[in-house]
Each structure stands twice: as structure tokens, then as C-alpha cells.
């Protein structure tokens, strides 16, 4: 049901340039105008990305947006064709790449585990590659990392027999084994039960409180909403929008909105004359009203009641990340890949939001 057009967003938000240009010396990751192609396929197309220290940044975007390529570029696993990538002030694809990679913990979209080895051997392998060495202190560190994700009881078993959730938890354990400064998580809660997913998100919060930086890709907008200090919406290898979710939403929807439902069409229309009302969009049985302040809402309800109109619904609009994400993508006139983004109602069971929708 199309109720109202998405307000024109400020141009600076869409480009994301306000965030990029504002990147300071605390930026752990700084990718500038990076492009990367694989034959005829362009994975990144002038990507700008700045990740601040101690923050949780979430990359959002449909499949093929370039999220995984961006993560691979951060560790130096891939180098940009043009543009530059700096991580901890170093070039990850250059001679300093080893230093960068030692300070990064990565969880790939697929767990990337050795099925024929036990969980313990998988973690030990990582410990040795990350120069933790062998010995009792490393063994203790392995047990500690496994316990963080509740997988310590299965370390002796061959990974090939693990469930998907167990594999994800083992991959998460492996990523934090060497106490990385930067954690790069590509769909980290994929395949996890709700309790485990919650534990992972809590751990991510804890890590950032301890000064670590997290960059996470996810399709779960609800998950991102509760977690992200900053979001980066990517599309076709470039940044569509970047910034703090609340600030972006406030810029995108500068005036409060409320949907008032009543069968009295005339009463709804007469709301245009109320003080503080800047816009009224009428639909069958309801109206979306823009007001200059949330405090006007009781006044509007009172006006409808005074006009003898039965009020069947009052829904103030508090934009979520989901609203923002889809609004931005609709505004760009691109709905490709939306199917792989799961709106929050799929997770929470609450009804889909009807405000705002593009005309």
C-alpha cells in the first residue's frame, strides 16, 4: 500500500561523503575510491569507506554489492585495481600486509574450517599461523576462545560432524583467538540459533567497549539496528549511504510523521488546517500527516474527535534501519537484490511497517 512518497534526502547523505571526508586520524580502515574488477565483473566501483576505532560498523547491501570484496581488501587478500586501502595506517596489500593481517580477525560467510580436523586442531592451526606458538598458554587461550562461544565441549570432535551453528561458533572462536584489534565479520550469526546469535552480538558489543573495532556484514536489518554505531549501505560496489543510523534517519525524515486512521475522509482531510501540520497524504481510511513536532499528535487526535470522526488508529512513525535502508534504495530506483535482505518483521514477527512507502 503506497501511502507517502519518501522525502527528498539531503544529497550529502546519499553520497556518504560527509562521513568519508570527516574521517580522522582515528580511522582504523580508510578505503578511498577503490575499484576492483574480476574480468568483466566490477566488484567495487570507487568505494569510499572509513571505519573509526572502537566502533561497530555494519555493511549493508544486497548480494553482489561488494561487501565481501571490501573485507578481502581490508586484509590485503585482494588489492584494489585503482584507489587505495589503508588499515592501521598501513597498506594491507603491500609489505606490511602481514602486520595488518595479524591484527585482524576474520569470520567469512562460510566458516572456512578443516572438516577432517578436530575443533581443537582447527584452533591450534590458527594459533600457530597467528604466531601464538604452542604451549600451555596457547592451549589456555584456545580453551578460553572456545568457551566464549560455548563450543569448548566439542573441541575433540571432528569438525565434519559439527552442525552449521557449531561451525559458525568455532569460526568465531578462531577469529578472536589472537585478540585482534579489528574484527571483520561476514554474516557472523548465519546459522546460529537465537541464543547463540544474541551471545555473538553481546560479545561484539563487549569487544568494542574494550577498544576493538568491528566491521560486520549482515543481511539482518534488525540485528544491525541494535548493534551498529555506523552503517554503510553499499550497492554495486559503491557507498550509497554512510553514517550514524539515527542521524541519517533524522536527516532523511526531518519532520515527525503519524498515520491517523478513520473512516471519516473529510475529517482526515481537514487536518491540513491544523496548526503545525505541514503535509497530509490521504489514503483509503487513513492519512499520513507530517507535523513540526511530535507533541502535535494529541492535538490532531483531539481535532478528529471534536469533528465527530471515529479514530481507529494512531501510529507515530519512528523510522527504523529497515525503513531507512529500503527508502534509500527505493529513492535510488534500484530494487535489485532486495530479496536477500530480510526485513525485521521476518525475525520479530511484528507486522510490516506501512510508513513510509514510495508512491
Among 8, 131, 210, 339, binds other proteins (CB under 8 A): 131
Is 4 or 123 the residue whose CB approaches other proteins more closely? Answer: 123
Distance CA(286)–CA(269), nearest Å, equals 10
State which of positions 33-52 bind other proteins (CB under 8 A): 38-39
Distance CA(174)–CA(146), nearest Å, equals 8
Q: DSSP characters for 172-210?
A: HHHHHTT--SEEEEESTTTT--HHHHHHHHHHHHHHHHT
Is 36 or 353 the residue whose CB approaches other proteins more closely? Answer: 36
Provide the edge-to-edge strand list for the sheet that holds 82-87: 41-52, 27-38, 82-87
Distance CA(317)–CA(267), nearest Å, equals 21
* Buried/exposed 290-300: b ≥16 CB within 10 Å, e otherwise: bbeeeebbeeb
Among 30, 42, 57, 75, binds other proteins (CB under 8 A): 75
Q: Give yes or no for residue 76 binding other proteins (CB under 8 A).
A: yes
Is 158 or 270 the residue whose CB approaches other proteins more closely? Answer: 158
Residue among 331, 334, 326, 240 nearest 8 (CA): 331
Distance CA(80)–CA(27), nearest Å, equals 19
User: Using CB under 8 A, which of the segments 72-80, 187-195, 272-280, 298-306 binds other proteins?
Assistant: 72-80
Q: Residue 27 CB: number of other CB atoms within 10 A?
A: 21
Among 23, 33, 125, 261, binds other proteins (CB under 8 A): 125
Q: Give yes or no for residue 169 binding other proteins (CB under 8 A).
A: no
Is 190 or 286 the residue whose CB approaches other proteins more closely? Answer: 190
Is 145 or 240 the residue whose CB approaches other proteins more closely? Answer: 145
Q: In sequence order, what are the beta bridge partners of 241?
A: 233
Q: Give yes or no for residue 90 binding other proteins (CB under 8 A).
A: no
Closest approach of other proteins to the CB of residue 130, in Å: 6
Burial zone of 57 (CB within 10 Å; 0-12 exposed, 13-18 middle, 19+ buried): buried
Distance CA(311)–CA(322), nearest Å, equals 28
Q: Give yes or no for residue 129 binding other proteins (CB under 8 A).
A: yes
Closest approach of other proteins to the CB of residue 142, in Å: 14
Q: Give yes or no for residue 113 binding other proteins (CB under 8 A).
A: yes
Among 4, 49, 126, 280, binds other proteins (CB under 8 A): 126
Q: Give yes or no for residue 110 binding other proteins (CB under 8 A).
A: yes
Q: Give yes or no for residue 121 binding other proteins (CB under 8 A).
A: yes
Q: Give yes or no for residue 320 binding other proteins (CB under 8 A).
A: no
Q: Give yes or no for residue 102 binding other proteins (CB under 8 A).
A: yes
User: Using CB under 8 A, which of the segments 75-83, 224-232, 278-286, 348-356 binds other proteins?
Assistant: 75-83
Closest approach of other proteins to the CB of residue 341, in Å: 23
Helix axes 164-176, 194-209, angle to 10 degrees: 10
Compute CA distances 127 → 99, 124, 134, 261, 330, whole Å.
Answer: 15, 5, 8, 60, 45
Closest approach of other proteins to the CB of residue 110, in Å: 4
| Residue ranges binding other proteins (CB under 8 A) | 38-39, 72, 75-78, 98, 101-102, 104, 106, 108, 110-117, 121, 125-126, 128-131, 158, 174, 184
Amino acid at each position: 500500500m503506497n501511502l507517502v512518497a519518501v522525502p527528498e534526502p539531503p544529497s550529502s547523505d546519499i553520497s556518504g561523503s560527509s562521513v568519508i571526508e570527516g574521517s580522522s586520524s582515528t580511522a582504523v580502515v580508510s578505503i578511498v575510491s577503490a575499484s576492483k574488477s574480476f574480468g568483466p565483473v566490477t566488484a567495487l566501483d570507487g568505494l569510499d569507506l572509513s571505519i573509526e576505532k572502537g566502533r561497530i560498523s555494519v555493511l549493508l547491501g544486497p548480494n553482489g554489492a561488494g561487501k565481501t570484496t571490501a573485507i578481502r581488501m581490508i586484509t590485503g587478500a585482494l588489492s584494489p585495481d585503482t584507489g587505495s586501502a589503508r588499515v592501521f595506517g598501513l597498506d594491507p596489500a603491500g609489505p606490511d600486509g602481514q602486520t595488518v593481517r595479524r591484527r585482524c580477525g576474520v569470520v567469512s560467510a562460510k566458516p572456512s574450517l578443516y572438516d577432517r580436523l578436530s575443533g581443537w586442531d582447527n584452533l591450534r592451526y590458527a594459533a600457530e599461523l597467528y604466531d601464538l606458538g604452542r604451549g600451555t598458554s596457547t592451549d589456555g587461550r584456545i580453551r578460553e576462545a572456545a568457551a566464549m562461544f560455548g563450543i569448548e565441549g566439542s573441541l575433540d570432535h571432528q569438525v565434519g560432524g559439527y552442525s552449521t551453528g557449531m561451525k559458525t561458533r568455532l569460526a568465531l572462536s578462531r577469529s578472536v583467538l589472537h585478540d585482534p584489534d579489528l574484527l571483520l565479520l561476514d554474516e557472523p550469526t548465519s546459522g546460529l540459533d537465537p541464543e547463540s546469535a544474541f551471545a555473538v552480538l553481546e560479545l561484539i558489543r563487549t569487544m568494542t567497549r574494550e577498544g576493538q573495532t568491528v566491521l560486520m556484514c549482515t543481511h539482518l536489518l534488525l540485528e544491525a539496528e541494535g548493534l551498529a554505531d555506523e552503517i554503510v549501505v553499499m550497492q554495486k560496489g559503491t557507498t550509497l549511504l554512510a553514517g550514524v543510523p539515527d542521524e541519517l534517519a533524522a536527516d532523511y525524515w526531518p519532520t515527525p510523521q503519524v498515520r491517523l486512521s478513520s473512516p471519516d475522509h473529510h475529517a482526515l482531510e481537514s487536518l491540513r488546517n491544523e496548526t503545525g501540520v505541514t503535509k497530509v497524504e490521504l489514503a483509503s481510511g487513513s492519512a499520513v500527516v507530517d507535523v513540526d513536532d511530535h507533541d502535535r499528535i494529541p492535538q490532531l487526535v483531539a481535532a478528529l474527535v471534536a469533528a465527530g470522526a471515529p479514530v481507529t488508529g494512531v501510529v507515530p512513525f519512528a523510522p527504523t534501519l529497515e525503513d531507512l535502508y529500503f527508502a534509500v534504495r527505493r529513492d535510488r530506483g534500484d530494487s535489485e537484490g532486495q530479496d536477500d535482505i530480510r526485513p525485521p518483521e521476518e525475525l520479530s514477527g511484528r507486522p510490516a511497517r506501512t510508513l513510509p512507502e514510495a508512491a
